[in-house]
Chain A
Amino acid sequence: MLNDVLVLGGGVGGTIVANLVAKEVGDKARITVVDTTGIHVYQPGFLYVAIGQEKPAALKRPEADLLRHEIKLVAERATHVDPVAQKVVLASGRTLRYDELVLATGSRTVMEEVPGGAGAHDFYTMDGAIRLFEALKEFQGGTILIGVAGIPYKCPPAPVEFVFLLDDYLRSRHIRDKSEIKLLSPLNRAFTIEATSKLVQPILGERGIELTGFFNVESVDPIAKTVTSLEGETMSYDLLVLVPPHRGQKVIEDSGLGDERGWVPVDKNTLKHTKLEHVWAVGDTTAIPISKSGSTAHYEATIVAAEIAAVVKGEAAPTHVYDGKVMCFLETGQGQATTISFDYDHPPVSPTPARRWHWAKTLFNKTYWHTVPQGRLP
């Protein structure tokens, strides 16, 4: 009998798993991807939309174009997972059964959890990034605050990248001398990773970007244009950009598959659900205390694909497991960037910012559509 491999979510993680399993097992399994919209969105590009360096349309492709032809795509929202009956219910009421299930549903932003948060901009959704750039085009000077309203969030380097790119943008409009950029950080440094903070903090200073430490955003007063921290400090702004709180997707929460924030508990090496049989999770979806980023999803997906392919073929589980590998770029502005690489056993390292890393990131972004979703990069 054919195995049914069901993947919930057509983002980077889900797409790689589906393509690699299909390539590996041939006609030994029926592989189905369920995705709410059927449109694949390259989320790392939101940062560039927010400062006018990328067009929204360039970040979207039909998911069907990225999947191998033998994979079935169902463009519908999954509403419930029944891990006992091994079936998934869709919004239409239709059910799909599975032998192996991959949860790759990612995260969602919940700015509504921040009192007054509607007064803040963000670049964590396509709409948010578009609106932010509209606001920046109108901006003629004043104070821009960039803060964090919840952890964990996608792409940890993004707030630091944003302030550097914002600095470039305001300089290009000749209004930098009429503007203040203030980065509000959850810790007493620019970035959670100390080694990377040591690299970027002097650059923040050179660019005149002010760093305020231990400012964990609690609430916003959009009338008074102030933001208040858990630590009890209040700051004024003319334009506020917040990293919104994130949660797992509703289908995870409604099905009781995750923790209180909807993150799915998995073994940090095999990515198998800690309590449920035949269920894996990848990327933002998991509760592993590691970066929520496309890079993490990418590396995890290759492992899960190999594990599922072994199950389908009746072979022993592969010995190669996920080692916590993460590799991110971090733009430092003025055409330069650095990288951050680490795994469970090796602390993060970042090279001195240079033009070549910026070009490497640009090249990666442009070639993404032809390499990553298909699983062509290791």
Chain B
Amino acid sequence: MSVTIAKSLDLKGLSCPMPIIKTAKAMKELAPGQLLEAFATDPGSVPDFKAWAQATGNTLVESGQQGEVFHFVLKKKEI
């Protein structure tokens, strides 16, 4: 089964805590189970995305880095 990304966010150049806030806003628009991907350059976003997902019950499906860009995939929690 292919994985469909419902929304993609470009958060490059933004500094903490903007990536988390923009992500929280975007996740709110998704249906339960849908996926969101985000690209950020702030190194602080790595621990912040992990902690945010844990605190809010969403799942950080993927977290990686290519050059200076960090890549995250989040899955919206089921109700």
Binding-face segment, B1-9, B20-28, B59-67: B20-28
A317 within 8 A of B: no
Interface range on chain A: under 10, 10 to 19, 20 to 34, or 35 or more?
10 to 19
Q: Name A289's contact: one of B14, B24, B48, B51 (CB within 8 Å).
A: B14
Q: Which 8 A-B pairs have the closest CB atoms?
A: A289-B15, A230-B24, A186-B17, A188-B51, A214-B55, A231-B56, A187-B17, A192-B16
Contact with B along A208-247 (1 / 0, CB 8 A): 0000011010100000000000111000000000000000
A91 within 8 A of B: no
What residues on B are CB-neighbors of A58 within 8 Å?
none
Chain B CB count within 10 A is highest, among A194, A214, A218, A232, for A214
B44 within 8 A of A: yes
B52 within 8 A of A: yes
A213 touches B13 (CB 8 A): no
Residues of A participating in the B interface, judged by any CB pair closer than 8 Å:
151-152, 186-188, 192, 194, 213-214, 216, 218, 230-232, 289-290
Can you pick out 12 interface pairs between chain A and chain B where the beta carbons lie within 8 Å of each other? A151-B21, A152-B18, A186-B21, A187-B20, A188-B55, A192-B17, A213-B51, A214-B56, A218-B28, A230-B24, A231-B56, A289-B18
What residues on B are CB-neighbors of A192 within 8 Å?
16-17
What residues on B are CB-neighbors of A218 within 8 Å?
28
Shortest Cβ distance from residue B57 to the other chain A in the assembled complex, whole angstroms: 9
A216 touches B55 (CB 8 A): no
Which residues of B (7-50) have their CB < 8 Å from a CB of A? Answer: 13-18, 20-21, 24-25, 28, 44, 48
